[in-house]
Structures are given as structure tokens and as C-alpha cells.
């Protein structure tokens, strides 16, 4: 999965640059491209995790493939939100990125404890965890 994440980030970055060059480099065109790539970064993993939450594959390879797909598509965030802050507010991009990442870090920390509680209460059944993550990715 980690290799898929690295490959997904590289593919997303070069693809976004190609599209921006093709459609024009104006702020509106860039915004459309960034939103499209961020949509892939959220909805792609949501679909993979939703599939895992509804029916855990009996073959471990299928589960690994879905998790790898989720990580690979999540990396499209690099060409979505990750790049958008630099384009919208170049001078303040570091501050903007850190301030907007703070809620994610806080909820991510809570999510670790919540995941443990869910697994303890469901007999180590990951379906609920995958379903919740898919829901969060879908809602945004």
C-alpha cells in the first residue's frame, strides 16, 4: 500500500500539471483541476473501504487490493488540497496548511482510540471501522 501511495502521489502531480497546461493556467482552471483531484482522493478510498465494510473478501489478496487502491487514490490529495493552498495563498500557505490540518490531527488521534473501542466491542470486526472511514471520506 505504501508504494501505491507514492505512485499515486507522483501520478496525481504529473497528471494535474498536464491538465492545467492543457486547459490553461488561470485560477479558475486550476481550481477545477484541484477539486477534481481532491474528489478522487476522497471518493476513491471511500468506494474501496465501503466495499470492504459491506463484505470482507474471503481471499486476503482481494482485501489487500482494495486497501492498496484506497491508499493509492488517497494520495491524489497531493494534487488536490495539498497544492491548492500554495496556489491560493502562496505567502501564507504554510500557516494555512498547518491550521487546517490541526482538526485532522485531533480527530485522527481520537479515531485511534475509537477504532480500538470499536474493535474491542465487535470481536475484532473491521467492517464498522471501514464503513465509518468511508462515510467520513464521502461527507468530507
Q: Which helix (H) or strand (E) holds 125?
A: none
User: DSSP characters for 35-49?
Assistant: HHHHHHHHHHHHHHH
pLDDT in tens, 24-69: 888 889 999 999 999 999 999 999 999 999 887 678 898 999 999 9
pLDDT of residue 94: 87
Tell me the pLDDT of the chain averaged across its residues.
Answer: 92
Question: Per-residue pLDDT for 88 more than 90?
Answer: no
Q: Dihedral through CA 13, CA 17, CA 23, CA 25, nearest 10?
A: 120
Give the Cβ contact number of residue 72 at 10 Å.
23
Task: Report residue 5 as a C-alpha cell.
Answer: 501511495
In this prediction the pTM is 0.86
φ, ψ at 123 (rounded to 5°): 65, 40
Coil/strand/helix, residue 19? helix
What is the arithmetic mean of pLDDT over 100-108?
A: 90
Amino acid at each position: 500500500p505504501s508504494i501505491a501511495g507514492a505512485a499515486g502521489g507522483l501520478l496525481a502531480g504529473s497528471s494535474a500539471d498536464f491538465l492545467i497546461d492543457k486547459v490553461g493556467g488561470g485560477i479558475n482552471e486550476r481550481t477545477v483541476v484541484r477539486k477534481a483531484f481532491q474528489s478522487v482522493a476522497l471518493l476513491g478510498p471511500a468506494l474501496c473501504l465501503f466495499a470492504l465494510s459491506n463484505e470482507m473478501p474471503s481471499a486476503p489478496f482481494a482485501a489487500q487490493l482494495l486497501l492498496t487502491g484506497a491508499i493509492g487514490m488517497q494520495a491524489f490529495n497531493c494534487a488536490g488540497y495539498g497544492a491548492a493552498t500554495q496556489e491560493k495563498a502562496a505567502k501564507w500557505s504554510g500557516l494555512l496548511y498547518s491550521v487546517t490540518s490541526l482538526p485532522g490531527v485531533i480527530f485522527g488521534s481520537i479515531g485511534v482510540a475509537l477504532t480500538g473501542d470499536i474493535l474491542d466491542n465487535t470481536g475484532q470486526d473491521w467492517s464498522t471501522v471501514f464503513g465509518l472511514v468511508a462515510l467520513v471520506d464521502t461527507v468530507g
